[in-house]
Amino acid sequence: LLGMETVQQPTSWENGIRLLSPQDARGISFKHTFFAGLNEGVFPRIKPEGWLLREEEIKHWPVEGLLPKNVDQLSMERLLFYYVINTPQEKLILSYCETDQEGQPLNPSSFLEDLVTLLPTLKEELQVARYKGFFLKQPATKKDLKREIADKIALERERRTGKLLTTGVMGEKEQKILTSSFTREPMSVSALEEYAACPFAFFCRRWLQLETLLEPEVLPNRLEEGSIYHQVLKEFFSGHRGEVLRRSLLGKYLEEIRALALKHYPEAHESAPILHRNFLELGRENFILRLEKVIKEEVEWAEKTDGRFTARYLELGFGGIKKEADQESTEWPLVLTEETTTRTTLPLHLWGKIDRVDTDTNGRFIIYDYKSGNPPLFKQIQEGKLLQLPLYLLAVIRLILPTREPVGAAYYSLNKTNRLRGIWRQVALDFGIKIRGALDDGAWEDLIANSTRQALQYYRGILRGDFPFCPQEQCSSYCEFRTICRRTIWGKEAKVENEAE
């Protein structure tokens, strides 16, 4: 059996740390080996009830020799332990936990006890490591140590009082690394919006690349469902590109959209519980119902505007987007530059993918960005917090349709079947589009210019490593990094202490 086993070979011998299981570490040699988790029940992982069935029951079965028993598993793990302790060339470090997270005592692995029995001097080494900090690496200088302590005190004081004591700006070395990383390729418009919402969250997501481990759900999550919406609508309008949707063909349109939804919406596996299958079926029908409302709204929109605007570009990309993008997409990025530049001023290169662009026969166009939830407020666009619509407009004007005239850019709420929330020019009123807050030419140009300035300001903040926490009143209750920044509890401890006094 051992002859049939395979050993994972290293892909590189560069200096660094390799994280391996005992099985994967067989046959490999290291300078130092750190073996963690040597607690009974972890390694060896032996349970009283046996591997599959109780061993006292197996003894009376004719298949006794075919099913592995605890003693067999113990022998195999003892062999793995032997392999691992032979991997280091200079130093072997064995580690186990004395207590669990609740402070309850834990037993060390029986393998570790056997090793201490065979090598009595090992016990003395363990005592040194435990009490004298033998393996703790201290800062190189007293100056570094004082700085580390001062930073920790400042951050804790900031957290307790809720007062901003730190700037969140990184050092010069880190700024050079950030500049090298974020200027190598075009940046997405959505990344700038993330920075505008919370620079610290941007730092966690885009630089540290932290991700939330999501639990499996019966229904597609919001992100997955949004992707399905985009795919279904893209395929539907690809079949009706440049076509005015007519009420006489509404039944045919609804059949098409339903077929596309059934094609892309996930189905429950036959082995799934009946409750899960029922939930998924209800979710699918609700999904189809929303899409049917969208198609009905498209027909009504065509009637209100005399069929002037029709879907022309779908998933239109710029800045190198090729995957599942419109054939009219361009590799050129949108380039934004400062009004006054120096040798050290870097231009901002952006990429993006526009959900849909509708055009008419007179050289005008409208941009749409699908939203599965409620559309954002115009105030957020006006303040430069949301940049998608203004920068997408700028990209289409400069890179794709330079001779055409924009009428507006809007968020298309699939939930509300509403397309009026966004930025519109007053010329839109001439085409039967009933909106409030239409902008004259001066206000339109000012909004685009302000969005450009804000985008460049966010970009400068990213390059200089400026990642402070957003104002507490703007903190979102559903931020995935709230357990890291802990802003939800900032100042509460000081308040409790004052009340106690």
At 336, give phi and psi (nearest 5°): -115, 135
Q: Per mean pLDDT, which range of 119-128, 225-234, 254-263, 395-404 is the poorest? A: 119-128
Q: Is 348 buried (19+), middle (13-18) or exposed (0-12) by CB count in 10 A? A: buried
Distance of CA 428 to the CA centre of its chain: 37
Bridge partners of residue 88, in order along the sequence: 30
Please enumerate in sequence order all residues whose Cβ is within 8 A of that of 465, keeping only pairs 6 or more positions apart, or say none.
Answer: 169, 170, 171, 174, 175, 178
pLDDT band of residue 136 (cuts 50, 70, 90) is: very low
List alpha helices for 411-440, DSSP H.
Answer: none
Comparing CA positions, the residue from 187, 244, 210 lying closest to residue 391 is 187
- Count the Cβ atoms, other than its own, within 10 Å of residue 188: 17
- Determine the Cα–Cα distance for residues 27 and 356; give it in Å rounded to an integer: 56
Give the C-alpha separation, 249 to 299, whole Å.
Answer: 9
- At residue 139, does pLDDT exceed 50? no
pTM greater than 0.75: no
3-state secondary structure 79-146: HHHHHHHCCEEEEEEECCCCECCCCCECCECHHHHHHHHHCCHHHHHHHHHHHCCCCCCCCCCHHHHH
Bond into 44 cis (ω within 30): yes
333-366 pLDDT per residue, tens: 999 998 877 777 789 999 999 999 999 999 999 9
What is the DSSP code string of 193-207?
HHHHH-HHHHIIIII
CB neighbour list of residue 63: distance below 8 Å, 6 or more residues apart: none
Instruction: Decide: 32 and 93 in contact? Cβ < 8 Å.
Output: yes
The domain locations on the chain are 2-131, 222-460
Q: Does domain 2-131 have CATH number 3.40.920.10?
A: no
CATH class of the domain at 222-460? alpha beta
In whole angstroms, give the CA distance from residue 246 to residue 462.
Answer: 48
pLDDT grade for 128, boundaries at 50, 70 and 90:
very low
More confident residue, 501 or 474: 474
- Say yes or no to pLDDT of 171 above 80: no
CA–CA separation, 420 vs 379, rounded Å? 14
Assigned token pair, 141: 């200088």
Instruction: Look at residue 494 and tell me whether its pLDDT is greater than 50.
Output: no
Kindly give, in sequence order, each residue whose CB lies less than 8 Å from that of residue 54, ignoring residues fewer than 6 positions away.
Answer: none
Please report which confidence band the pLDDT of residue 170 belongs to, taking 50, 70 and 90 as the band edges. confident
Calpha distance 469→486 (Å, rounded):
10
